[in-house]
Amino acid sequence: MFTDVDIQLSAGDILQIAGRNGAGKSSLLRILAGLSEPSEGVLYYQAVELTKCHDDYAADLCFIGHLSGVQGQLTALENLQFWRACWQLKAADDWQLLATLGLAGLEDIPCQHLSAGQQRRVSLARLWLTPARIWILDEPFTALDQSAIGLLQAHFQQHCANGGAIILTTHQPLPMLASQLRQLELEYRW
């Protein structure tokens, strides 16, 4: 796995966890999201040990992993409505959001019938909905075309400009985010 990892994230930061396949990037993201326990060390959120403020941290976190989190039997529109209900968000123009994400005309098709890239766009729609300030994203650009990657990177910039922070893994170059980007390289060990 990895040792001696020391990460501090502030508002406006984007941290890319880099490394070869198998270096532990996804495992580290799961630990940072509070989904796995570190074998040693302590996580803090706003200078408080995470074990003592887990609910506050979870309320301020949006984690999107390898699996999309999209309900395949629901349509894109129904998935957005479901997430809004989970976060107790007021109704908004979800049709317009789906159009922005390149899903116009696909609103009423069960997600299981959409392409991998279209399903990924539905999954990433949460980033336009969530009030969370911390986004932890595992390979968010997977299956996306260049226009969707550009749209997502622009949304990352807006999120950080509004005081948010992002931790992500990707093998994609991130030139649009270069001025905000820090990297942590994990070494592959066996």
pLDDT digits 0-9 by tens, 79-120: 999 999 998 998 889 999 999 999 999 999 999 999 999 999
Range from 67-71, 120-124, 184-188 that averages highest in pLDDT: 120-124
Q: How far apart are CA 162 and CA 32, in angstroms?
A: 22
Taking residue 187's Cβ as centre, other Cβ atoms within 10 Å add up to 10
Q: How far apart are CA 122 and CA 94, in angstroms?
A: 11
Angle, vertex CA 139, rays to CA 123 and CA 42, nearest 5: 105
* Closest alpha carbon to 124 in 144, 109, 95: 144
Q: Tokens for 69?
A: 């989190």
- Are 50 and 44 spatial neighbours (Cβ–Cβ below 8 Å)? yes
- Considering the entire predicted model, what is its pTM? 0.93
DSSP 75: B
Q: What is the pLDDT of residues 14-52, one digit of tens each?
A: 999 998 888 899 999 999 999 998 888 999 999 999 999
Q: Tokens for 102?
A: 């390149």
